[in-house]
Amino acid sequence: MSAPLAVAPWPSTSGTKITAVRTFLTAPQGSPYLIVRVETDQPGLYGLGCASDPQRTLAVKSVVDDYLGPMVLGRDPGDIEDLHRLLLNSGYWRGGSIAGNALAGVDVALWDLKAKAAGVPLYSLLGGRVREAADAYTHVDGASASEIAEGVEAAAEKGFRHVRVQVSVPGTDTYGTGGTDPELAHARNARWDSLAYLHHVPGVLREVRSKIPAGLELLHDAHERLTPAQALRLLPMLAEVDLFFLEDVLAPEDADYFPQLRNSSSIPLAMGELFHDVKQFLPLLRDRAIDFARIRIPTLGGLTPVRKLVAACELAGVLIAPHGPGDVSPLGHAANLALDVSSPAFGVQEAATLREGTLEVFPGTPVPERGALRPSAAPGLGVDFDEAAAAKYPPPEPGVHDRWALLRAADGSAQRP
C-alpha cells in the first residue's frame, strides 16, 4: 500500500483499511466504461463503482488515478460521508461532470463495499425495500407510425407497460433513431432540423397512439434540441398523445423556463439527465415545475448526494426516473435499482438493451423480466466485474465514440446533441 496523502482524523471503527483504488477501461457495449475498484486489507473484500463519461473518459480516469484514489488510501472505507466531502473539497473549483463522474466511481464503490462488509444488499442500507420490483421502460423507434406501433406491441408482449418512442424525420438527424438514411447516420453527416421535427413528429406520435392497445404508456425524448419558444409550440401538438412523460424538452441552460411550460400544459415533464449537480434540481422541485427527475448517478457524484436528492423529490411530490442508457455500466444500473426499490418516490426506470458481452463482463447484471427489474439478494450491488473478460473489449480511441455529439443544425451551426 502506498503512503496515504491524508491522515485519518479518527481511529478506524472497523479495522478495515483501503489499500488500493484501481480503474479499468472496457467497452463491451461499444461505449467506453470506466470501472473503479476500491480494495481493502480484508481478503476478497472490495467495492465496485461506475465512473463512465463517454465523452471525457480518460480525463475522468486521471482524476481517479492521480488525485482521488491516493487520498483515500489507509482510510476506513465505512466513513463514506467524510470521504465524499473530503474528495469533493479537494478540487478547490468544485463541480462539473468530470469531477462528478470521478467522485461517483469511488463513492458507489464505497457503498458497495460497505454493504458487502455487512453481508446485505445495498438497498438495505438505504432503508430497505418498499416494492418488489421496479417498472422499466424500453425503447422503440421507426420511420412510420405503423413501424413504431408494431415495435410497441412487440415490447408489450415482452411485458413492458412503458415504452419510449422516437420518430425518424426524413432527411435530418433525429435523436434515438437509426435514421432514414443509415449511411448518413453512421457518418454523422445528417443535420438537425427543428422545424422538420415540429412538423413531422407530433403527427406520427398521435397516429402511433391510435394504433396501439389502451393501457400502454408512451414516453418521448426531445433531447434538449428545442428553444423555449419551440418547446411551447410542441406541447399542445402532443396533447392527444397522452404521454407518460416528455423528456428533456429544454436544455439545462434553459431550465428556468420550466415553470412557464408547466403552466401551459398538463403533459408530465421529465428533466435532469444532463445535470451535474444535485442543486440544479432544487428550483424545479421548489416550483413543482417537473414531474420526473431524470437522475444520472455517475455524473451527480454518486449515491451520497443522490440519495439526498431522492429524499427531496419525495418531499416535493416529484417521482424519480433514473437514467439507465447503454453508456452507463451495469454497476450504475444496479445502483439505480437499489434506489428504485428503496424509495417511495420511484416512478419508472430506463432499461438499456445490453449485449451478451456486457453480461459476460458484469456477472449478476439486472435485466428486465416482464417489463420490470428485480433486485439481487446478493450483498452489495449484486453485480461483479470480470477483469479477464473486460480485456476482450478494449475501448474506442477518444473522439471515435464522441462523434454522436458532433451535431450540426440545418444552417451549419453547432447543435446541442
* 186 pLDDT higher than 60: no
* 401 pLDDT higher than 90: no
What's the rounded Cα separation, in Å, for the pair 330 and 385? 9
Counting Cβ atoms within 10 Å, is residue 280 exposed (0-12), middle (13-18) or buried (19+)? middle
- The whole-number average pLDDT for the span 254-279 is 97
Residue 24 CB: number of other CB atoms within 10 A?
A: 17
* 3 pLDDT higher than 90: no
State the catalytic residue, choosing from 84, 139, 220, 223. 223
- What are the backbone angles phi and psi of residue 138, rounded to the nearest 5°? -110, 180
* 56 pLDDT higher than 60: yes
Model confidence pTM above 0.85: yes
Q: Percent of the chain scored above 90 by pLDDT?
A: 88
Query: Per this entry, what is the length of the chain?
Result: 417
Q: Check if the beta carbon of residue 25 is closer than 8 Å to that of residue 66.
A: no
CATH number for region 125-379 = 3.20.20.120
Domains of the chain, residue spans: 125-379
Q: Please give the full DSSP string across 265-289, using - where no structure is assigned.
A: --S-EEE-TT-SSGGGGHHHHHTT-
- The whole-number average pLDDT for the span 129-146 is 97
- The whole-number average pLDDT for the span 57-83 is 97
What's the rounded Cα separation, in Å, for the pair 173 and 180? 9
H or E element: which one contains 83? helix 80-90
* 238 pLDDT higher than 80: yes
Residue 175 is a catalytic residue: yes
Going by C-alpha positions, the residue among 79, 61, 104, 108 that lies closest to residue 18 is 79
What is residue 90's predicted lDDT score, i.e. its pLDDT?
Answer: 94
Residue with cell 423555449: 228
C-alpha 161 chain-centroid distance: 20
Going by C-alpha positions, the residue among 8, 28, 18 that lies closest to residue 329 is 28
Grid cell of 60 as nine digits: 475522468
What's the rounded Cα separation, in Å, for the pair 244 and 348? 10
The per-residue pLDDT for range 355-399, each reduced to its tens digit, is 999 999 999 999 999 999 999 999 999 999 999 999 999 999 887
Q: How confident is the model at residue 19 (pLDDT cuts 50, 70, 90)?
A: very high
Residue 186 is a catalytic residue: no
Residue 185 CB: number of other CB atoms within 10 A?
A: 17
* 151 pLDDT higher than 90: yes
